[in-house]
C-alpha cells in the first residue's frame, strides 16, 4: 500500500517556532522599548503600574453612589413639584368653575333686565270689512269706462268690482 505523505506541519514544530518568535520579540522589545515609547509618546512602564487597583475601583464606585443619590433627590423634588402644580391646577379649575357660574347667573339677570316687559297680550279687535264706496254716476262716462281718466283729465275712481 501506498502511504500518503502527511500534509501540513507537525504540531511540535509549530510550538517550537512560536516560542522562538516570542523570545525574539521580547529581546527586540527590550532593546528598542524606550525608543518606541518616546515615538508613541507613552508614559514609562513604572507609571502605568504604579496606580493601585483598590483606590481606582473605590473612586468610581463612590462617584456612582453619589450620582445615584443626587438623581433620587432630584426625582423627589420633581415629584413634589408635580404634586404642587396639580393642586394649584385643581384649585384654579374650581375657582374658574365658580366664576363661570357667577357670570352665567349675572348674564341671565342682565338679559331679564334688557327684555322689555311684555304686557299681557290683548286680543286684537276684529277687523271690520269696509264697504266699497258707492260709484259716482256723474263722474263715470258710459262711453269710456275702461280708461283711467275722465274728459277733464282727472283720474276716475276705480271700483273694486273692476279689479
What pLDDT, on a 0 to 100 scale, did the predictor assign at position 77?
93
82: in domain:
no
Helix/strand/coil percent split, the chain, to 5: 60, 0, 35
CA angle 4, 5, 7 (to 5 degrees): 115
129: in domain:
no
- Where do we find the cell 528598542? 32
Tally of domains within the chain: 1
What pLDDT, on a 0 to 100 scale, did the predictor assign at position 42?
75
What pLDDT, on a 0 to 100 scale, did the predictor assign at position 99?
93
46: in domain:
yes
Instruction: State the 10-residue block means of pLDDT for the chain, 163 residues long.
Output: 72 90 87 75 67 58 89 92 92 93 93 75 67 67 54 62 57
pTM: 0.32
96: in domain:
no
How far is it, in rounded angstroms, from Cα 67 to Cα 59? 12
30: in domain:
yes
The boundaries of the domain holding residue 34 are: 11-50
42: in domain:
yes
Amino acid at each position: 500500500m501506498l502511504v500518503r505523505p502527511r500534509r501540513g506541519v507537525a504540531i511540535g514544530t509549530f510550538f517550537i517556532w512560536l516560542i522562538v518568535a516570542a523570545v525574539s520579540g521580547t529581546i527586540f522589545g527590550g532593546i528598542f522599548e524606550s525608543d518606541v515609547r518616546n515615538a508613541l509618546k507613552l508614559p514609562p512602564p513604572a507609571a502605568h503600574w504604579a496606580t493601585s487597583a483598590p483606590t481606582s475601583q473605590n473612586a468610581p464606585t463612590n462617584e456612582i453612589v453619589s450620582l445615584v443619590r443626587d438623581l433620587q433627590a432630584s426625582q423627589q423634588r420633581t415629584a413634589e413639584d408635580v404634586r404642587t402644580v396639580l393642586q394649584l391646577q385643581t384649585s384654579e379649575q374650581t375657582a374658574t368653575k365658580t366664576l363661570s357660574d357667577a357670570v352665567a347667573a349675572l348674564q341671565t339677570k342682565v338679559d331679564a333686565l334688557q327684555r322689555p316687559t311684555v304686557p299681557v297680550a290683548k286680543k286684537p279687535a276684529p277687523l271690520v270689512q269696509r264697504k266699497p264706496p258707492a260709484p259716482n254716476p256723474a263722474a263715470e262716462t258710459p262711453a269710456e269706462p275702461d280708461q283711467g281718466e275722465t274728459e277733464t283729465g282727472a283720474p276716475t275712481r276705480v271700483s273694486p268690482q273692476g279689479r
